[in-house]
């Protein structure tokens, strides 16, 4: 099994190294930040992510060698630079970086590391919506990056929607709030993508494939906007998140591709890497060919 997996990754690396595709990965790092933690049974305030977890995350990233790495739950610019430096010292150079530090969420942010130079970068920190008369602002906002490849301009939007944890008894899993946030994000994407309708949305949507949250991104009324990339692991399973307390597996992380972008593609492949002790999410990646 280990040998088969080794040759599988070797084949994917060789295909990627020949310059035939662009590899995009998305990864929720599970609190790669300074925060209060229980470490070996002891309470540690404002404590960094343990080194063993960081090493597990780096190993997964290094194995798939992405050209573009979309991140969720990175702490601040210092932690992003630390990860960038550690990956560089291990042989993976991702020289271009950005992090959305101005969004309401101050502890867990979205960010990007990339081998490819962006043509344009927009930070959306003010995405507002109303749910049952209550005003909200998207906690993590959205990164909006424009690339040009072989003469084709395309956009990558990185999102991390509201978690499923709340004290609101009327919306116990935040389904209504998340659907409202999804609508606001979709409308912002529609405005931003008018000059560049070819785009990918990726990240942690915190909801299942048949949820209202996903449907908000996939279509508007009868108008189809995007389609979800089929991502599977080596056992043909699609789950991306493991709740360790309840031992449940769910699909919360996605790549969504606009219909205009899909027309330009020669091939799209979607993969999910094994779970590790560094995160409760699995890394997803796609190889796109224009």
Spatial separation of the C-alpha atoms in residues 32 and 75, rounded to whole Å: 6
We report the CATH number of the domain holding residue 243 as 3.60.10.10
Task: Give the model confidence (pLDDT) of 131-152 as tens digits.
Answer: 888 899 999 999 999 999 988 8
- The number of folded domains in the chain is 1
Task: Give the model confidence (pLDDT) of 80-137 as tens digits.
Answer: 999 999 999 999 999 999 999 999 998 999 999 999 999 999 999 999 999 888 899 9
What's CA 10's distance to the chain center, in Å?
24
Give the pair of three-digit tokens for residue 115.
């081998």
Spatial separation of the C-alpha atoms in residues 231 and 253, rounded to whole Å: 10
Write out the residue range of the structural domain in which residue 199 sits.
2-289
């Amino acid at each position: 099994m280990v040998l088969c997996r080794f040759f599988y990754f070797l084949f994917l690396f060789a295909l990627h190294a020949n310059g035939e595709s662009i590899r995009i990965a998305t990864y929720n790092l599970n609190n790669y930040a300074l925060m209060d933690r229980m470490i070996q049974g002891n309470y540690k305030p404002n404590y960094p992510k343990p080194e063993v977890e960081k090493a597990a995350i780096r190993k997964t990233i290094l194995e798939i060698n992405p050209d573009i790495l979309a991140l969720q739950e990175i702490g601040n610019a210092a932690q992003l630079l630390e990860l960038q430096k550690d990956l560089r010292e291990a042989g993976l150079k991702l020289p271009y970086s950005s992090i959305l530090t101005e969004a309401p969420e101050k502890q867990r942010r979205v960010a990007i590391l990339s081998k490819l130079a962006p043509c344009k970068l927009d930070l959306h920190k003010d995405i507002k919506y109303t749910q049952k008369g209550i005003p909200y602002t998207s906690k993590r906002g959205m990164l909006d990056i424009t690339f040009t490849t072989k003469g084709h301009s395309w956009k990558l939007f990185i999102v991390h929607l509201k978690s499923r944890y709340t004290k609101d008894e009327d919306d116990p899993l935040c389904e209504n709030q998340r659907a409202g946030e999804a609508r606001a994000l979709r409308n912002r994407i529609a405005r931003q993508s008018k000059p560049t309708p070819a785009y990918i949305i990726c990240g942690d949507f915190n909801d299942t494939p048949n949820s209202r949250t996903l449907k908000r991104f996939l279509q508007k009324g009868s108008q189809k906007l995007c389609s979800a990339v089929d991502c599977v692991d080596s056992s043909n399973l699609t789950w991306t998140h493991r709740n360790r307390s309840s031992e449940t597996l769910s699909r919360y992380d996605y790549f969504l591709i606009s219909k205009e972008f899909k027309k330009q593609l020669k091939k799209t492949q979607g993969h999910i890497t094994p779970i590790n002790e560094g995160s409760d999410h699995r890394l997803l990646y796609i190889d796109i060919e224009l």
